[in-house]
Structure 1
Amino acid sequence: MAESRNVGVTGASRIFDMLRQDLLDGRFAAGDKLAISALRDHYDVSLSPLREALNRLAAYGLLEQENQRGFRVPRLSREELDDIMTMRKALEGMALERAILQGDAEWESHLLAAAHRLKRADEAGLTGNEWEALHAEFHHTLVRPCGSVWLLRFIAQLHDQFDRYRRLAPAIPEIRCELDRQHGELMTLALERSVEGARELLDDHIQLSYRVALGSCGEQTT
């Protein structure tokens, strides 16, 4: 019995990860209702782990659960994006300040390595999920020593919500170049223990990325 439960948990976790990635990639259109039968066939999974994964994604905020009517992909809205952006600035900025004050030599080496891998990916023109993984790793490494597991969890969730908008928006190459450059500057300021400078740049970095993400709402940047 215990072995059967463990298999179910593993299956639900696998489907959670796959569905999460597909939702961030825009495989399902915003506002679409998900057909359970189609999902079972596509992911080759039984109903129980699929429903567990869908419930977890609804609790996480990447799906909406409708009473007795299944699950729907959340719609995109300027109001929600504004809220996500504001919360990212507040929580990520707080975490960055703590990380700079508390980070040790091991953190410095991990941050240098993450920044280097991301820069190499930028120079190679890497795109898609490979680049996204390196980008997420850099931002996570930047704030990792903040000393709060819950703060890191909230930041990770906000990143996913923000990225759903950003990755569905049309590319703006000149802004992307500036964002890429800022990653190196953020690393430098963090290693120099410049709390004020790093937080100011992080706010600008999030605001600049927000200008790109606005495109998913059908709005022009200013």
Structure 2
Amino acid sequence: MGEAHLNNSATSASRIFDTLRQDLVNGRFEAGEKIAINVLKDHYQVGLSPLREALNRLAAYGLLMQENQRGFRVLSLDRRELNDIAEMRRELETMALERAIRLGDAEWESELLAAAHRLKRADQSPEEVDQWELMHTRYHRTLVSGCGSVWLLRFIDQLHDQFDRYRRMAPSVPQVRQVLDGQHGELVDLALARDVKKARALLENHIQLSYEVALGSCKDRY
């Protein structure tokens, strides 16, 4: 097997990992659904080897469940898991935000302003929701990107994917979404003012409100 073939296989695996990860987060598959590998192979136009590699990586990442000798299954939506994810988001993101406010430089400030501006201008209509979600993810990533810890950001990224899987499967609550959208701008103002205490409290409230929306995806939410 040549080096070029290995490189192409690795590239295909990375591409399908990113595509499938986004589709799983966006609710393209039903919770608990068994993954039909041959169907995915045809749908995503990818070889069996890179597809299996991507599925194994997604299982290790926590977005799929690997069943012994029986392939893969989409994870169910469980309130206890969502509670755990939300609590870890509060712990790690507020820590990262506090560090970013203390350590963030002028470049971080300008990137945060740009990310907030792009998010505010993004269209939330059903036809453009994927683009809005991309801007939303970039905004939250930029907000804490000045924390100075690659590992902390990596954990936060993974938690966001897990959390967003629940949020995207939940019914929309427009009045709460309006409050959350307003908080995006308020968080930027507080971060730029270097007000750690108020920024931390607002981010905790932001995550709690979003959690209450995401909870609507769980059958055992009551």
TM-score after normalising by structure 1 = 0.96
Cα distance in 1 for partners of 2:163, 2:209 equals: 13
Aligned to 1:59: 60
Cα distance in 1 for partners of 2:128, 2:197 equals: 31
Deviation sequence 1:162-184 (CA, Å, 0-9, x none): 00000000000100000000000
The Cα of 1:218 is off from its aligned counterpart by: 3.4
> Where does the alignment leave 5 or more consecutive residues of structure 1 unmatched?
none
- Contact 1:122–1:180 (8 Å) recurs in 2: no
- Contact 2:124–2:132 (8 Å) recurs in 1: no
> Where does the alignment leave 5 or more consecutive residues of structure 2 unmatched?
none
RMSD of aligned Cα (Å) = 1.6
The Cα of 1:18 is off from its aligned counterpart by: 1.2
- The residue identity in structure 2 corresponding to 1:214 is L
Aligned to 2:110: 109
Identity between Structure 1 and Structure 2 (%):
67
Indicate the SS of the match to 1:30: coil
TM-score after normalising by structure 2 = 0.96
Aligned to 2:152: 151
Runs of 4+ in 1 over 4 A off after TM superposition: 122-127
User: For the structure 1 residues 121 and 61, does the alpha-carbon distance in structure 2 shift closer, same or farther, using more than 3 Å as the test?
Assistant: same
Structure 1 stretch 114-123 or stretch 192-201: which is displaced more?
Answer: 114-123
Indicate the SS of the match to 2:72: strand
Cα distance in 1 for partners of 2:22, 2:117 equals: 24
Aligned to 1:70: 71
Deviation sequence 1:90-128 (CA, Å, 0-9, x none): 001110000000000111111111111111126889841
Indicate the SS of the match to 1:72: strand
Cα distance in 1 for partners of 2:132, 2:92 equals: 24
Cα distance in 1 for partners of 2:43, 2:134 equals: 24
Aligned to 1:165: 166
The Cα of 1:45 is off from its aligned counterpart by: 1.1
| Number of residue equivalences | 221
Cα distance in 2 for partners of 1:81, 1:122 equals: 27
